[in-house]
A = this chain, B = another copy of it.
Amino acid sequence: MTPEETVDRFIELLCSKQVDAACELVDDACEYDNVPLGKQFGPEGIKALLGPMVDGLDEVVFVIHRQAVVGNLVLNERSDRFRLGDRWIDLPVAGVFEVGDDGRIVLWRDYFDANTFNEQLAALLA
């Protein structure tokens, strides 16, 4: 797979709630950085954060608005959408992905506004 295909497949697996399968595309030393909230590392860090979240949701959709690639770098602009019952979180996100030479993701960094996420999460769980 190309770096772009790897990132597209990773997102596709996350959005079908297959976090373990998605993490097979992730390097052991991967940095997963939710910029305003903090970092996790490696497949286990990603699973620890996203596993319970994804399991608790009814639907996960990453809408890719724009994406550009150079070498092993994939940058995208997205709306990440999370549904619980009939309520949605809709989070504007810009993502940075780097894929190592062995084809696994070594960096996933998301830029977003923490309050935009936290306020919608509180409303979702209310």
Contact = CB atoms under 8 A, between A and B. Distances in A.
Interface of A: 35-36, 66-70, 73-77, 92-96, 109, 111-116
A36 B115 contact: yes
Nearest to A37: B113
A35 B113 contact: yes
Contacts of A116: 36
Given A112-B111, A113-B36, A69 B70 contact: yes
Contacts of A115: 36, 113-115
B77 A76 contact: no
Given A36-B116, A114-B115, 9 more contacts: A35-B113, A66-B96, A68-B68, A75-B77, A75-B94, A77-B96, A77-B111, A94-B95, A115-B115
